[in-house]
Amino acid sequence: MSWFTVWMIIINTTFWLVCCFGSAWVVHKLLPSSVYGKMGWFFKERSFEKRFYRLIYLAKWKDKLPEWGKVWNFEKNHLKQELSLEYVERFILETYRAEIGHIGMAVFGFACILVNPRDSAQMAIISSIINVFVQIPFCLIQRFNRPRLVRLKTRLEKRSLQSGTELK
């Protein structure tokens, strides 16, 4: 293996790590939570989505993909133990962040073309397209979970109003 090949492997590995972790960092640390509230039209569930999720059996495989909520101090598996309005609101916010983060990873991945020599452009384009396909399932999972969490939030709010107590 030539030094050039080793160097390109190092450059591309570094690029993809920065692209993925950088996108996640930006949505968690730089974008204020208020931004997501202004994007309601984007996050709104579309009429075809439920049918599509059933068609691809999303509910059966969604929990088999890696999940990095722990990195950002959020664990989705606490929903059953921590059924509170505050927790569900945070979970919804995390679905916004994750969806935007994965979209960012898909889009910024095309910058891979810039870090490779011209004669490797075809390989860089293919890598970038594969990256888009890798990010899609993660976005679909967020879009699948969010409406269910919003309905749960609404039920918790109603329960809170009926009992006259405030859920935390």
Mean pLDDT across 87-114: 95
What is the per-residue pLDDT for 104? 96
Q: Please give the pLDDT value at position 129.
A: 96
Residues 6 or more apart whose CB falls under 8 angstroms from that of 47 comprise none
Q: 3-state secondary structure string, the chain?
A: CCHHHHHHHHHHHHHHHHHHHHHHHHHHHHCCHHHHHCCHHHHCCCCCHHHHHHHCCHHHHHHHCCCCHHHHCCCHHHCCCCCCHHHHHHHHHHHHHHHHHHHHHHHHHHHHHHHCCHHHHHHHHHHHHHHHHHHHHHHHHHHHHHHHHHHHHHHHHHHHHHHCCCCC
pLDDT of the residue at 79? 67
pLDDT in tens, 63-90: 999 987 777 778 777 666 778 899 999 9
pLDDT of residue 1: 85
Asked whether the predicted pLDDT for residue 168 surpasses 70, the reply is no
pLDDT band at 59 (very low <50, low <70, confident <90, very high): very high
Residue-level pLDDT at 75: 77
- pLDDT tens across 9-29, in order? 999 999 999 999 999 999 999
Position 165 scores a pLDDT of: 60
pLDDT tens figures, 34-44: 999 889 999 99
CB-CB contact of 120 with 127 (8 Å)? no
